């Protein structure tokens, strides 16, 4: 028997159109054959997945499946986090970082068969408050602040329009040479409870082990099973050093055996909280505009605070410790 009894499969009716719906229906058939009660529902509008997922939880569903890419997962997560319902994923989108980290195969039928064996496990879930605390969102893959926030948003949009992950790297190199890296202040609470302050150019807080795809060799030390976020801090760097670092991440040669960077000034830290604040430029009282993102979605600007909610999410994961290791 699967680890869920009654599940809702939420899918984007625009993405993939009829082919996408057929893929979801095939997954539903496999779940039903295993004895689960399954219902399908299309998202009503961009960003509606969270409210629809929460309505399903309130109606007694013990699992909600996000059928799509990382954007669909992000939306559904907002309604499932903090509840007793499990989040499952049928990977159908252009980007499927979380699904890849969980070892899910591509293809709705193969993914559904694997999910029948997965277990609902409690994990910490990230939360980012942004726009000076006016808004907040949960995240499972990564969140952060800096030029990369615009990179992941533009790259995702380009990949959806033109297809192929090459769009991510085209956008990345475009931003690398066109945009200025603006320093901002961070206050970090480390895993041992101590606090440090610093100034950085970029910050990424990772929860997954890697981003998969071309970046599968780049493993800074994140894990969904850890009670902390793995921070990747770019403190100082030249554009040429950044180019060498990016190429090194693709080739798996970005770091020495001790984990230090071969080029750019990159540091890794385990943290449970980090606050990002813009600094005043030139003493004129004006604040630099630094973008913030979570799971590839552009959110707004800093000030922003990233924290973890312990046991804040029930997630369908591979069974047993050997099938998902830190």
CATH number at residue 137: 2.60.200.40
pLDDT for residue 160: 52
Q: What is the per-residue pLDDT across 101-120, written as a single tens digit (0 to 9) for each? A: 999 998 999 999 999 999 99
Query: Do 222 and 204 meet the contact criterion of CB atoms below 8 Å apart?
Result: no
What is each CA distance from 110 to 28, 31, 105, 114, 261, in whole angstroms? 12, 12, 6, 6, 38
pLDDT for residue 212: 86
Residue 208 lies in a domain: yes
198 and 302 housed in the same domain: yes
Banded pLDDT at 175 (limits 50, 70, 90): low
The mean per-residue pLDDT over the stretch 170-180 comes to 61
What pTM value is reported for the model? 0.90
185 and 264 housed in the same domain: yes
159 and 286 housed in the same domain: yes
178 and 40 housed in the same domain: no
191: left (phi over 0), alpha (psi -120 to 50) or beta: alpha
Question: In the chain, how many domains are there?
Answer: 2
Q: Which residues form the domain of 17?
A: 6-117
134 and 221 housed in the same domain: yes
138 and 237 housed in the same domain: yes
Residue 136 lies in a domain: yes
CA 294 to chain centre: 6
143 and 214 housed in the same domain: yes
186 and 138 housed in the same domain: yes
CA 121 to chain centre: 18
The mean per-residue pLDDT over the stretch 201-230 comes to 91
Q: Mean pLDDT check: name the lowest of 5-14, 92-101, 285-294.
A: 285-294
What is each CA distance from 250 to 128, 210, 219, 243, 245, in whole angstroms? 28, 12, 11, 11, 9
């Amino acid at each position: 028997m699967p680890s869920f009894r009654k599940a809702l499969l939420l899918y984007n009716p625009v993405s993939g159109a009829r082919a996408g719906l057929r893929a979801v229906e095939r997954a539903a058939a496999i779940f039903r054959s295993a004895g689960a009660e399954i219902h399908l529902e299309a998202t009503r509008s961009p960003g509606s997945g969270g409210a629809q997922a929460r309505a399903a939880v309130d109606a007694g569903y013990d699992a909600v499946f996000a059928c799509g890419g990382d954007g669909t997962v992000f939306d559904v997560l907002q309604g499932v986090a903090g509840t007793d319902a499990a989040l499952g994923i049928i990977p159908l989108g252009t980007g499927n970082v979380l699904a890849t980290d969980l070892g899910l195969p591509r293809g709705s039928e193969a993914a559904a068969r694997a999910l029948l064996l997965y277990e609902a496990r409690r994990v910490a879930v990230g939360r980012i408050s942004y726009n000076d605390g006016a808004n907040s969102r949960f995240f499972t893959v990564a969140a952060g602040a800096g030029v990369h926030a615009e990179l992941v948003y533009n790259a995702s949009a380009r990949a959806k329009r033109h297809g192929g992950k090459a769009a991510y790297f085209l956008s990345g190199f475009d931003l690398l040479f066109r945009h200025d890296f603006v320093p901002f202040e961070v206050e970090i609470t480390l895993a041992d409870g101590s606090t440090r302050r610093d100034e950085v150019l970029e910050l990424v807080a990772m929860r997954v082990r890697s981003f998969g795809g071309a970046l599968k060799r780049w493993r800074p030390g994140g894990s969904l099973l850890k009670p902390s976020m793995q921070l990747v801090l770019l403190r100082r760097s030249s554009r040429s050093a950044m180019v060498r670092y990016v190429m090194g991440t693709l080739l798996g040669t970005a770091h020495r055996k001790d984990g230090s960077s071969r080029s750019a000034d990159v540091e890794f830290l385990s943290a449970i909280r980090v606050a990002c604040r813009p600094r005043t430029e030139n003493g004129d009282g004006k604040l630099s505009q630094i973008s913030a993102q979570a799971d590839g979605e552009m959110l707004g600007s800093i000030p922003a605070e990233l924290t973890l909610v312990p046991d804040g999410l029930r997630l369908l994961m591979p069974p047993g410790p050997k099938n998902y290791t830190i």
